[in-house]
Structure 1
Amino acid sequence: MCGIAGIIRYDESSPQERTLRTMMQQMKHRGPDDEGVFIEDAAGLGFVRLSIIDLSPDGHQPMLSADGRYAMVFNGEIFNYVELREELQQQGITFRTKTDTEVLLQAYLHWGQACMHRFNGMWAFAIYDRQEKSLFACRDRFGIKPFYYTHQAEFFGFCSEIPPLLGLLPEKPAANYQSIFDYLAFNRTDQTDSTFFQEVKKLPHGHQLSIKDGTVRISKWYDLRERVAQAKPFTSPREYKELLTSAIGLRLRSDVPVGVCLSGGLDSSTIVATLLKDFNKTDLNTFSAVYKQGQTGDEKEYIAEFSPYLQHMHYTHPDADTLENDLLEFIKAHAEPIPSTSPYAQYKVMELAKDKVVVTLDGQGADEELAGYHYFFGFFFKDLLRSARLGKLGGEMLQYLNNHRSLYGVKSFAYFLLPEQLKTSLRVGEKGYLMAPFVAQYSTTNAIAGKLYGSNTLKDALLDHFENKLEHLLKWEDMNSMHFSLEARVPFLDYRLVERTLASADTWAIRKGITKYILREAMKGVLPEKIRLRMDKIGFGTPQDEWFREPRWQALVKGILKSRSFKSRKLIDPEIALQKYEQHLSGEANIAKEIWKWVHLELWFRTFIDKAEKPAEEAAVAENVY
């Protein structure tokens, strides 16, 4: 919906308006329709608006309360704002606008900090109390909307994106090498409150923040485990389908056009099929990334299942050339390294959608709720073993092998049984290119082997993924969509659906070697059988193995691996990396994910760390990347 920014100074001097305006300009893509600034005493708030609900000037921010005491900036949507407005009106509260922004502010004034538990939506907001000279900020339950901050000796600054905060730092930013280790060794980011910059952190999902008299306090307002323990489990696919339909319906509330990012997988296809059957959305726009027939990631045969019912299906065709052409812009848009090119496919889908709609729906969250990743079979098998359900374990393993013709779930099972340190050692060993001193310093302090891969039951694994993995997918979606002034909504992350799904029996997630069992059953007669029964997992995949064998990419990759700057990092052994790349070129190995990580990490260093004062294009050219 928007971009928010703020500065709270500790020396009682007022933030400079030009500083706030500069921050806002750097993220103007998040809000091209309007902007506003509030500065008083030691506090400053900035806002850029993407108009979604009530397109009138009434949605202008920062928004002041009727009595003028509170000033608020808000990024996101409160989807149940209609019902909340009616509830507040019944208690005598009057409204000046039709916006969900005013509903949020009035809810805060009426219910206090407990108001967040009533919201069904996605948000990051900050409210300044002009009387108490204090700030309260909050982030949604699962981290759909971002909230980054930097805490310096003289001030506290926050923003919807990282780059505007870097301009506030007294010195050039420093790399966070623990985040870099986790990225290289485990292909993971965003599992803690850290970012790739030492000076910048993020407010964790489901947390709130307060600042008063120079003291910053952060606390948890939403406890998923506690809520799941209290939730009513689903007893049938029909119940699940009814709540999923309600979640999708709520996310259609908009005063601008809504479309769907359609990958051809089970989750996004479920949204499209529901919109067709239950909401009669035959005029729906869908947006998909496709490739040449037979290439990895090409989902045309599944997407085409909807062609008899939809007239507005749009396609983008990412390839090696578009990736190279977009490379520096993509790196700047995300501001942190990404461990695969899949988010680039989503980036191109959002670019495709920007001229047709302003809001997109997407299937994020279903995999974490319903054990969609194949390695969840490893947790399931571990759970069955630990609970001595050996007969069931044998039967489920046989059905898994029969359905998937793969040993991946079984290998995951063996891996999850290992001690924490051995898990890390194996990951480092299979990479083969990480420098020993780097590994020695950061391998024992990672938060992944224990917190993400140490779960003893399938239920714990799903909960741990919500706490420690889901957020990076939501961040990439937010950055991709907002870069093109689009708002992305995720129906599967309606908190009612999440809590009841995770409270339900494991057999609704995995049964007879099949994942997402309750969803598949719920969509009988709604979703084309070819999609409902498919067993593979792709999402917005790409043929990156082939891309990185293209001549232009050979020059780029080798230029990076042979560069002085790459060698000077002392993170990756350049000779081993070059050997591995040659193996990839010959077809002896497929290590596209590692190649991409090397490229993205190095160009991130050059763009944001080495030459923070120079444009990314200068940094690249200076190292003769092209």
Structure 2
Amino acid sequence: MCGITGWIDWNRDLATSHNTAIVEQMTETLTARGPDAKGIWIAGSCALGHRRLAVIDPTNGAQPMVIHHESGTYAIAYNGELYNASELREDLLHKGYKFRTHCDTEVLLVAYIEWKQACVERLNGIFAFAVWEETEQRLFMARDRLGVKPLFYAEGEGWFAFGSEPKALLKHPNISPIIGSEGVAEIFIVGPARTPGHGIYKQLRELRPGKTLTYDHNGSRSSTYWQLESYEHEHNEEQTAQHVRELLLDTVERQLVSDVPVCTLLSGGLDSSALTALTALHHKRNGLGQVNTFSVDYVDNDKHFKAHSFQPNADEPWIQRMVEELQTKHHYIKFDTPELVDSLTTAVHVRDLPGMTDIDGSLYLFCREIKKHATVALSGEAADEVFGGYPWFHREEALSASTFPWALSVPLRTSLLKPEIADAIKGEQYAADRYSQAVAEVPLLNGEDEAASRMRKMSYLNITRFMPTLLDRKDRMSMGVGLEVRVPYTDHRLVQYAFNVPWSIKTHGHREKGLLRKALEGLLPHDVLYRKKSPYPKTHNPSYLNAVRTQVLQRLDDPSSPLHTFIQADRIRSIAASEEASSNLPWFGQLMSGPQLFAYLLQIDYWMRSYQIQVRF
């Protein structure tokens, strides 16, 4: 895994010392993503920058990588992993190509030389990459199908720039930290579930998952190479469960390939326990010894935890159950309130935006500790979106709402804004437009009844709108400490297959993720297999609420706080004094509890100050 950036400019020689220094600065911002090595390649109008996290062939995989072929010179900056690199290498060897390394970077670049833009259709992996064709004076970029790896870009008259993260682009002289009405709406109304394609910053855009982009003297052009498709599901329940099992087994085997240690994140839930069990089987077959597993929790959570519908039980007993079952070498990681509060600002720097507050911060701290023992980890992210695990898949009010199920509180969010801001951004209309845009994309199936169509729509919204939010969080917080996290449940074959499975099969046994449970029978203990879903752990310690509430009230007492531009301070003070403020239930819209609201406002305040955000409607 790595960080990539680049700059094309038809009006400048980028090899001059001044312009080279700019590329160096853009590249240096991505050091955390690639702590092992850096590289710059410049040829006239094109400059590519790369920071490397060495996972495959650490000795020979330096980037940017350049190949001089009979058809011209090609240079690549690549972030990701190809899980079918060995098959692609064999295909290319049969076509007469020779390889000088064992890394997937060379496989990808040679694949581009052979198949050009169509190469992306052959890739199984997580990736964001850019290839420069010197002869054609053309840049080609692509992003993986589900958006595991990030890629942002900006363009102006005669120039184009890209980067793994906004921080790289913000070092470009033509790009400023400006947000407009859409950016404000993304932050205050629909955030942190950012709309795919939007970079929040006014000049930035995001290359959406499953898309490519070409830039040359005629400008930029984007096209889609993959998207979810609807078709009749032809397998019965038994066949479906067996096929899901086979796909998952194949996916995990592919994703365990690494030249550095691999561990798993283990919460004791269905998704992470399954991946850990498959990893343990792989280790046993290959004589690799114990699997290293990691879990996260908070000091005194055992004293303050109270079961509720969103989190029915604590994780620790279930973690211990799986550790004993699989004989893993487990690492319990715990954080206390002061460190968690401090991580809120760190998470803003890592994400370049306010995000999921303590959930971001704790994940950053968690990954930082894992990195001391491993460079690659497997995570159960995305199983809930793919197999229908979230509560909103099963609640009528969410299914019948004319908005995203995680955005039911848009009117409440709007009410916190100053009237002039609310009028300027038209937040409720903005959210409605984004929802309509998403629903219009859903590939409906002819002849499908209303109930089935409604579940297909819910699945599509989760996979294309909510899942990218969590994948972005996972990538940024893990790569912020140089840890590569792989997410087997996002294999595009598995996602596409599950998307067309009828809801009656997905909910086998009248359970959320019933199909996945059935597919994993015999792999996990029965009690773990049928444990009720529990979300990513968060602190229940009242000291956290007290800390973030106190700090946000202090910010509101500061007349220079950027928050005063946007929100009604008295409304926040009223909420802070209310009984709801102490609740860890997501009453402030599906994604945010009282403590998270205060923490989110703290992140906004810090982000606008430290990034010197300018607002221009």
TM-score bracket, normalised by the shorter chain, equals 0.7 to 0.9
RMSD over aligned Cα, in angstroms? Answer: 2.7
Whether 1:194 and 2:198 are equivalent positions in the alignment is yes
**Is the Cα–Cα contact under 8 Å of residues 186 and 200 in structure 2 kept in the other structure?**
no
- Determine helix, strand or coil for the equivalent of 1:218: strand
Mapping for residues 197-596 of structure 1, pairs under 5 Å: 197-225=201-229, 228-229=230-231, 235-277=239-281, 279-280=283-284, 283-291=290-298, 292-293=301-302, 294-295=304-305, 298-308=314-324, 309-377=326-394, 409-414=395-400, 416=401, 418=402, 427-429=410-412, 432-440=415-423, 441-443=425-427, 444-446=429-431, 447-451=433-437, 457-511=454-508, 513-538=510-535, 540-543=536-539, 546-550=542-546, 552-566=547-561, 569-584=564-579, 587=582, 591-596=594-599
Q: Note the C-alpha offset of 1:122.
A: 0.7
Q: Note the C-alpha offset of 1:99.
A: 1.1
- Determine helix, strand or coil for the equivalent of 1:124: strand
Q: Note the C-alpha offset of 1:103.
A: 0.7
Distance in 1 (alpha carbons) for counterparts of 2:596 and 2:364: 17
Mapping for residues 101-120 of structure 1, pairs under 5 Å: 101-120=105-124
**Is the Cα–Cα contact under 8 Å of residues 174 and 199 in structure 1 kept in the other structure?**
yes
Distance in 1 (alpha carbons) for counterparts of 2:317 and 2:414: 34
Partner AA of 1:288 in structure 2: S
Pair 231,105 (structure 1): closer, same or farther in 2 beyond 3 Å: farther
Pair 82,605 (structure 1): closer, same or farther in 2 beyond 3 Å: same
Q: Note the C-alpha offset of 1:467.
A: 2.1
Distance in 2 (alpha carbons) for counterparts of 1:527 and 1:564: 56
Runs of 4+ with deviation above 6 angstroms: 421-425
Partner AA of 2:610 in structure 1: T
Partner AA of 1:295 in structure 2: F
**Is the Cα–Cα contact under 8 Å of residues 147 and 158 in structure 1 kept in the other structure?**
yes
Distance in 1 (alpha carbons) for counterparts of 2:501 and 2:207: 29
Distance in 2 (alpha carbons) for counterparts of 1:430 and 1:71: 47
Mapping for residues 7-86 of structure 1, pairs under 5 Å: 7-14=7-14, 16-56=19-59, 58-67=60-69, 69-86=73-90
Partner AA of 1:69 in structure 2: T
Q: Note the C-alpha offset of 1:587.
A: 4.3
Deviations 1:242-278 (A, max 9, x none): 1101100100110000011122222111101222245
Pair 451,314 (structure 1): closer, same or farther in 2 beyond 3 Å: farther
Mapping for residues 70-219 of structure 1, pairs under 5 Å: 70-170=74-174, 172-219=176-223
Q: Note the C-alpha offset of 1:543.
A: 2.2
Pair 192,610 (structure 1): closer, same or farther in 2 beyond 3 Å: closer
Deviations 1:290-313 (A, max 9, x none): 232152674111111122133421
Partner AA of 1:336 in structure 2: L
Pair 192,284 (structure 1): closer, same or farther in 2 beyond 3 Å: same
- Determine helix, strand or coil for the equivalent of 2:341: helix
**Is the Cα–Cα contact under 8 Å of residues 416 and 571 in structure 2 kept in the other structure?**
yes
Q: Note the C-alpha offset of 1:491.
A: 0.6
Distance in 2 (alpha carbons) for counterparts of 1:288 and 1:421: 30
Distance in 2 (alpha carbons) for counterparts of 1:452 and 1:266: 29
Q: Note the C-alpha offset of 1:586.
A: 7.2
Q: Note the C-alpha offset of 1:214.
A: 4.9
Greater CA drift, 168-177 or 149-158 = 168-177
**Is the Cα–Cα contact under 8 Å of residues 5 and 47 in structure 1 kept in the other structure?**
yes
Counterpart position of 2:446:
none
Partner AA of 2:221 in structure 1: R
Q: Note the C-alpha offset of 1:120.
A: 0.7
Q: Note the C-alpha offset of 1:12.
A: 4.2
Give the number of equivalent residue pairs. Answer: 573
Counterpart position of 2:448:
none
Counterpart position of 2:449:
none
Partner AA of 1:11 in structure 2: N
- Determine helix, strand or coil for the equivalent of 2:121: helix
Distance in 1 (alpha carbons) for counterparts of 2:407 and 2:257: 45
- Determine helix, strand or coil for the equivalent of 1:579: helix
**Is the Cα–Cα contact under 8 Å of residues 517 and 530 in structure 2 kept in the other structure?**
yes
Distance in 2 (alpha carbons) for counterparts of 1:507 and 1:275: 30
**Is the Cα–Cα contact under 8 Å of residues 76 and 122 in structure 1 kept in the other structure?**
yes
Distance in 1 (alpha carbons) for counterparts of 2:405 and 2:526: 42
Q: What is the TM-score of this pair, normalised by structure 2?
A: 0.87
Distance in 1 (alpha carbons) for counterparts of 2:598 and 2:353: 16
Distance in 1 (alpha carbons) for counterparts of 2:407 and 2:244: 38
Q: Note the C-alpha offset of 1:88.
A: 1.5
Counterpart position of 2:590:
none
Partner AA of 1:111 in structure 2: W
Pair 422,240 (structure 1): closer, same or farther in 2 beyond 3 Å: closer
- Determine helix, strand or coil for the equivalent of 1:125: strand
Q: What is the TM-score of this pair, normalised by structure 1?
A: 0.85
Q: Note the C-alpha offset of 1:371.
A: 0.9
Alignment gaps of 5+ in structure 1:
378-408, 613-626
- Determine helix, strand or coil for the equivalent of 1:7: strand
Partner AA of 2:397 in structure 1: K
**Is the Cα–Cα contact under 8 Å of residues 380 and 487 in structure 2 kept in the other structure?**
yes
Alignment gaps of 5+ in structure 2:
443-452, 588-592
Q: Note the C-alpha offset of 1:54.
A: 0.7
Pair 491,171 (structure 1): closer, same or farther in 2 beyond 3 Å: closer
**Is the Cα–Cα contact under 8 Å of residues 5 and 23 in structure 1 kept in the other structure?**
yes
Distance in 2 (alpha carbons) for counterparts of 1:65 and 1:422: 48
Percent pairwise identity? 26
Counterpart position of 1:3:
3
